[in-house]
Structure 1
């Protein structure tokens, strides 16, 4: 037996500890007791239907193998919902942990000044170096971040400009780049990770893609992706059955030609053919009025010719969308490969989400804005093997105002009282939903028939089993009143219509695709009454009432018991 002196044993132990510390320092950029790094990855309009791991009709196409693998290595959340399915309010909710009336961002014109950029502020208090790269879209400078390189407003798909911290003052601090935005955003993030971050600190990085936001301009290398593949179509593209109400369809479907931007030529104001064929010689063919006439008060009905046209538009639409998604998925691999190669992968909390859902032809709708699930549901999964079990799932009701409190707690802090969201850290780590966890989520789309999309203003509540929506329309705005104050850019424009008021109710267990508005069904009247009580309670709790909008409150009072 070999014998060691106590002095030699002490040296062996010391060298062993030193090697351990060096390895830990290589992995994290900090010492062994420091906090995990956090990367929050968000794509624009990447809906759950566009990810294989959510098992949608598109899953067999395998559109996101790298993101699916990431999701399978952590927890996938099945019931994550946006507070308002439009870019700016959603991003404001994520940054502030607050709903729209509390953070002041109700619509696309809303701004978030540095003093309300709470998430990076709280992360810096916890010792994190903070950065945001890619899409920002909250108009004012993201000055609360230590580093930023962000697209101006929506930004461009090709050769995008960025506003960068340092040098010129915002908004003149512009640098030009070459390439496709998805590639360029990843390049910038990798450069920051390699060369610009302070490796003595943990980092909190928000990595935000523009893709797959319309108008779906993919990198040329994806032009042939899915070219010869038939993309599965939603049944509701051609037959919307009893989805909707007088508020979304008009009496006897008389408003179907103007409400809800469409895949087909149903919507005379905005349809997908107008978007994707605008630079093509076939644009005029699809722009021209439908064969059934142009009267906006004549109900839309499919015939065989219109089905053929809608199918071609849908196929082209989805292929363009999925080519942008493919670019995101491939670039995610580049980012994850860097983390793995530099021993950062297992000590970094990696979050992936979209800023809301997106309609991919369901109900013959495009875009988002609706409270229907394809629009309001966000993809969301988290990988962190030190705390989160691989292959786990949760159906807890999560709102995007909950993101900031959760990230703060995962970083070792405590969510501040001014945030309305709640941390779901324990759900991620245990897979169990606390008994006092919220059983519902609140939604509010403030804009009305704006930007040619034709979505009436509405709010509502969703539980795991049911959904109740109130479309209050535009009767609350008296445009003849010189003292009426509202955001005319988002709350009404040249295509504004006064739309009817109506309720919609869906039994999500029996009708998950929301094809039957059962609001008038006697069997559900008790459930609906309870949901209305919950809706009142939540609106008061979140300071989301209409006490500051008496025109809206007047409509609510007049139609609450309809």
Structure 2
């Protein structure tokens, strides 16, 4: 009997140890809005410093070629939670309402026993579903003293700065969760979305720093019809008041958006700090009377300074989340991802914003760590897309991946396994007519080449040799030297459109 008891105890200990090794991971996905890959120091040195985001990459993986399927805010978010391209999840542009009754990975995790939460920018118009807890900003949200929609439909205004408040709410939820269950937390920042309003705590950062002008800042768009038709240049389409914080209310020649939007929400202390920062900038601008290239380059420097300040706040709050996990013994068994809903232009081609399939807006920064499950550290160079998040989370959680998901689990790549992987990605942008007048287009990107078709009110093809022309300045479509490549890419594009069931035109 004594030996049987001992044997039973040994078995229980062994089973408990097995259960611990099979413990399902927690998941935290931190996503910012419009964070350019080159504005993270893991990916690019010299523009800014992001030590906390870098920390995730140093302790885990850096995805060098992570791409979106449709470079605009709401559609990218819909792709992430459904694992399906825009034409199948129905959210093709920022104007439509997301069908929240459809299958999403948070719903599947919730059904499998996960506690799920969403805090921050949702941007899909319909209320979130599949979450045990959610609180989201209406639409784009506000930087200062933002409103939040609660699960009961009521709104509350919270005093403070959006990035800090979103992180506060996320950490508060973690404090009150049921610790017997694994969790999935989506922490979605508003920043650094336009109009780049920094935290008052960051006004002393980057003041006087000179950012290098991109070599193609004065792009003339030769051979690229659609690129020349856009309305998103820093020189001509970035507003002095709403974007660059220069008060032009007394200037009769600038009747539109003469005042900085968002400052009316500030309390007295916030507004005083704001005025101390921007009143001298306004005074100097009015005194200098800049024009031409001098004005365009001043706009670029002003834009970059505030954009990087917003990112400094994001990075600081990422550090708060990482520190919380360490302090509460959660770091080892928690998958942490930092990404953005798409890329962003920082003066390349003379632009801000996103939308195009050109590299700067196509690429999504992504770093990931999972100490208990990923022993490999370093770079992942396979081409991944935002359709791949959902199947990855589900596989790690031990949940069967539905057959209708269009992405692939990144788990084998994260574990350093050599497997057959995609050799090309597909992209489709729809929002035209619309803001910035970027034409509808779809395309394919391979390791070296990119083929795009702009359609609707125009019919133009573009082909780029990314090895010889990484800045995508020379369209070689129609060049006899690339005729064979063009034919192969057309075939690949047709195959991907069929694979992903995109028969739209």
Q: 1:527 aligned to 476, 485, 489, which one? A: 485
* Structure 2 residue 168 is matched with structure 1 residue 184: no
CA distance 1:95–1:152, shift in 2 (3 Å): same
- Distance, in Å, in 1 between the alignment partners of 2:397 and 2:331 is 16
- Distance, in Å, in 2 between the alignment partners of 1:418 and 1:239 is 42
Q: Which residue of 1 aligns with 2:341?
A: 355
What is the SS of the residue equivalent to 2:361?
helix
Q: Which residue of 2 aligns with 1:218?
A: 198
Q: Which residue of 1 aligns with 2:278?
A: none
* Structure 2 residue 145 is matched with structure 1 residue 159: yes
Higher relative contact order (CA 8 A, sep 6+): 2
Q: Which residue of 1 aligns with 2:232?
A: 261
What is the SS of the residue equivalent to 1:60?
coil
Return the offset for 1:160.
1.0
CA distance 1:71–1:240, shift in 2 (3 Å): farther
Aligned partners of 2:191 and 2:310 also within 8 Å = yes
Q: Which residue of 1 aligns with 2:426?
A: 442
Aligned partners of 1:83 and 1:90 also within 8 Å = yes
Aligned partners of 1:369 and 1:455 also within 8 Å = yes
- Distance, in Å, in 2 between the alignment partners of 1:421 and 1:361 is 32
Return the offset for 1:152.
1.2
- Distance, in Å, in 2 between the alignment partners of 1:305 and 1:238 is 15
CA distance 1:210–1:222, shift in 2 (3 Å): same
* Structure 2 residue 442 is matched with structure 1 residue 459: yes
- Distance, in Å, in 2 between the alignment partners of 1:286 and 1:276 is 17
* Structure 2 residue 189 is matched with structure 1 residue 209: yes
Q: 2:389 aligned to 403, 407, 419, which one? A: 403
> Number of residue pairs matched?
467
CA distance 1:440–1:272, shift in 2 (3 Å): farther
Aligned partners of 1:113 and 1:141 also within 8 Å = no
CA distance 1:286–1:241, shift in 2 (3 Å): farther
- Distance, in Å, in 2 between the alignment partners of 1:466 and 1:93 is 24
What runs of 5+ residues in structure 1 fail to find an aligned partner?
1-5, 25-29, 250-254, 290-303, 475-499, 547-551, 553-562
- Distance, in Å, in 2 between the alignment partners of 1:464 and 1:231 is 30
Return the offset for 1:516.
1.3
- Distance, in Å, in 2 between the alignment partners of 1:421 and 1:370 is 22
Q: Which residue of 2 aligns with 1:248?
A: 227
- Distance, in Å, in 2 between the alignment partners of 1:390 and 1:427 is 9
RMSD: 2.7
Q: Write out per-residue CA displacement over residues 207-251 of structure 1, whole angstroms, 9 at most, x where no aligned residue.
A: 110000000011101112100211122111124575x512332xx
Q: Write out per-residue CA displacement over residues 417-446 of structure 1, whole angstroms, 9 at most, x where no aligned residue.
A: 1211111210011153x22x2111111111
- Distance, in Å, in 1 between the alignment partners of 2:49 and 2:194 is 18
- Distance, in Å, in 2 between the alignment partners of 1:17 and 1:317 is 59
Equivalent positions of 1:57-96 (< 5 A) are: 59-96=45-82
- Distance, in Å, in 2 between the alignment partners of 1:97 and 1:378 is 16
Q: Which residue of 2 aligns with 1:298?
A: none
CA distance 1:144–1:509, shift in 2 (3 Å): same
